[in-house]
């Protein structure tokens, strides 16, 4: 199915992680829908994406954190776009440091768990049926690694909430082993920032968006956790591991030192090589050592 026929629902698409993903999806020709309670965030997202892709972005004001709100948002979504072929969920927040548990209230804990776990569950319950039975569809969770350890003093509730989300994703993989759609998880064990708010070891949200777009665009992997510890993992873990067997052969041949140049082939073969390279590569993330072999693809 060409990207132009695919409609991706980006849950959390107005956030830092989500905005990079939405831009990457649109740039690759997907149609994208984003739901948010905050109309101003949707307007900022629309001004952030590439101007020539705005017509493929559908924004809906709604609340996917409650069962009633999620159902209303789903009906508004289907009325606006007609169908959904793929879903990427990056709901919640990336940081919380309210203090050690004895200084917090039950209300504080409920808020953290509601934001990280309940919204993920409620939205999954509402939207999963839209893609569940289609083997060409995908449902991808983007989660953090804070649930596996205490990041620093005072972040305990973040660990509790994040661990709940990780457990929920595990439950889905094991409860639905034979589901038709491709069910995957991208677990990020580092920070994610916009270009102007980067720190050492952080992932640029644009690079992350392009890597996840590559995963969505090649629905040949399912029930897999892709763990990202550093920027280099975006290529080695996400891009290379999602190549199918034929693309691996192509990648090996045409990144080798003995790879033939395009001038040695007919124009028809040249077009075929360019097509497959564009299909299986991301020019922002690919190794620059190899980029010169295909620079005609990106001019």
Q: What is the CATH number of the domain that holds 38?
A: 3.40.50.720
Closest CA to 27 of 216, 253, 272: 216
Phi, psi dihedral angles at 74 (to 5 degrees):
-65, -45
DSSP state letter for 237: I
The number of C-alpha atoms within 13 Å of 4 and in the hemisphere containing its C-beta is 2
Which pLDDT belongs to residue 11? 97
How far is 184 from 140, CA to CA, in rounded Å?
5
Which pLDDT belongs to residue 241? 60
Which pLDDT belongs to residue 291? 39
Q: How many domains does the chain have?
A: 2
pTM, rounded to two decimals: 0.80
- State the average pLDDT over residues 251-279: 45
Residue 123 or 116, more confident: 123
Which pLDDT belongs to residue 199? 87
Q: Looking at the structure, do residues 13 and 151 belong to the same domain, yes or no?
A: yes
- State the average pLDDT over residues 107-118: 91
Q: Looking at the structure, do residues 119 and 86 belong to the same domain, yes or no?
A: yes
Residue 103 or 275, more confident: 103
Final residue before a domain boundary, out of 227, 242, 257: 242
Which pLDDT belongs to residue 260? 43
| Strands across the sheet containing 86-89 | 57-61, 31-36, 7-11, 86-89, 138-144, 182-188, 224-228
Q: Looking at the structure, do residues 173 and 283 belong to the same domain, yes or no?
A: no
Residue 292 has pLDDT above 70, yes or no: no
Q: Looking at the structure, do residues 114 and 255 belong to the same domain, yes or no?
A: no
Q: Looking at the structure, do residues 268 and 170 belong to the same domain, yes or no?
A: no
Q: Looking at the structure, do residues 71 and 181 belong to the same domain, yes or no?
A: yes
Distance between first and last Cα of the chain: 25
Share of the chain above pLDDT 90, in %: 62
Which pLDDT belongs to residue 294? 37
Q: Looking at the structure, do residues 190 and 291 belong to the same domain, yes or no?
A: no
- State the average pLDDT over residues 151-159: 85
Containing domain of residue 141, as a range?
3-242
pLDDT band at 240 (very low <50, low <70, confident <90, very high): low
Q: Looking at the structure, do residues 211 and 99 belong to the same domain, yes or no?
A: yes
Residue 222 · residue 46 · CB < 8 Å: no
Tell how far CA 138 is from the center of its chain. 11
How far is 192 from 199, CA to CA, in rounded Å?
9
Residue 42 has pLDDT above 50, yes or no: yes
Token pair of 295 as six digits: 């620079």
Token pair of 283 as six digits: 């020019």
Residue 41 has pLDDT above 50, yes or no: yes
Q: Looking at the structure, do residues 204 and 87 belong to the same domain, yes or no?
A: yes
Which pLDDT belongs to residue 150? 79
- For residue 208, the SS3 value is helix
Final residue before a domain boundary, out of 224, 242, 260: 242
Number of other CB atoms surrounding residue 133 within 10 Å? 10
Range in 50-64, 97-111, 209-223, 254-268 the model is least confident about: 254-268
Q: Which runs of consecutive H residues, i.e. helices, occur in the chain?
A: 16-27, 39-48, 67-81, 106-113, 119-127, 156-175, 205-217, 233, 245-254, 267-280, 288-291
| Mean pLDDT of the residues in the chain | 83
Phi-psi sector, 261: left (phi>0), alpha (psi -120 to 50), beta:
beta
Which pLDDT belongs to residue 186? 96
Report which secondary-structure segment, H or E, holds 35. Answer: strand 31-36
DSSP state letter for 260: P
Q: Looking at the structure, do residues 161 and 258 belong to the same domain, yes or no?
A: no
Q: Looking at the structure, do residues 233 and 145 belong to the same domain, yes or no?
A: yes
Q: Looking at the structure, do residues 42 and 132 belong to the same domain, yes or no?
A: yes
pLDDT band at 81 (very low <50, low <70, confident <90, very high): very high
pLDDT band at 96 (very low <50, low <70, confident <90, very high): confident
Final residue before a domain boundary, out of 202, 222, 242: 242
Which pLDDT belongs to residue 98? 81
Residue 59 or 236, more confident: 59
Residue 279 has pLDDT above 60, yes or no: no
């Amino acid at each position: 199915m060409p990207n132009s026929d695919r409609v991706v629902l980006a849950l959390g698409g107005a956030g830092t992680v989500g905005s990079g993903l939405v831009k990457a999806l649109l740039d690759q020709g997907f149609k994208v829908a984003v739901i948010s309670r905050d109309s101003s965030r949707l307007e900022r997202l629309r001004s952030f994406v590439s101007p020539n892709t705005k017509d493929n972005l559908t924004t809906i004001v709604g609340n996917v954190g409650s069962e009633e709100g999620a159902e209303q948002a789903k009906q508004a979504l289907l009325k606006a776009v007609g169908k959904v072929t793929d879903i990427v969920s990056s709901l919640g927040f990336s940081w919380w440091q309210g203090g050690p548990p004895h200084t917090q209230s039950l209300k504080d804990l409920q808020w953290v768990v509601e934001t990280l776990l309940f919204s993920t569950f409620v939205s999954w319950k509402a939207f999963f049926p839209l893609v569940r039975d289609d083997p060409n569809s995908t449902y991808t969770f983007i989660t953090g690694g804070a649930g596996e350890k205490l990041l620093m003093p005072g972040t305990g509730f973040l660990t509790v909430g994040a661990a709940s989300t990780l457990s929920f994703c595990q439950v889905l993989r094991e409860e639905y082993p034979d589901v038709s759609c491709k069910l995957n998880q991208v677990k990020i064990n580092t920070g994610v920032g916009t270009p102007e708010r980067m720190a050492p070891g952080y992932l640029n949200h644009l690079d992350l968006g392009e890597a996840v777009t590559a995963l969505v665009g090649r629905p040949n992997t399912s029930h897999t956790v892709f763990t990202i510890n550093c920027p280099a993992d975006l290529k080695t873990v996400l891009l290379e591991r999602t190549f199918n067997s034929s693309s691996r052969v192509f990648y090996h041949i045409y990144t080798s030192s003995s790879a033939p140049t395009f001038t040695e082939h007919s124009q028809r073969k040249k077009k075929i090589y360019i097509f497959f390279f564009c299909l299986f590569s991301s020019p922002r993330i690919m190794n620059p050592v190899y980029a010169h072999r295909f620079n005609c693809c990106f001019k």
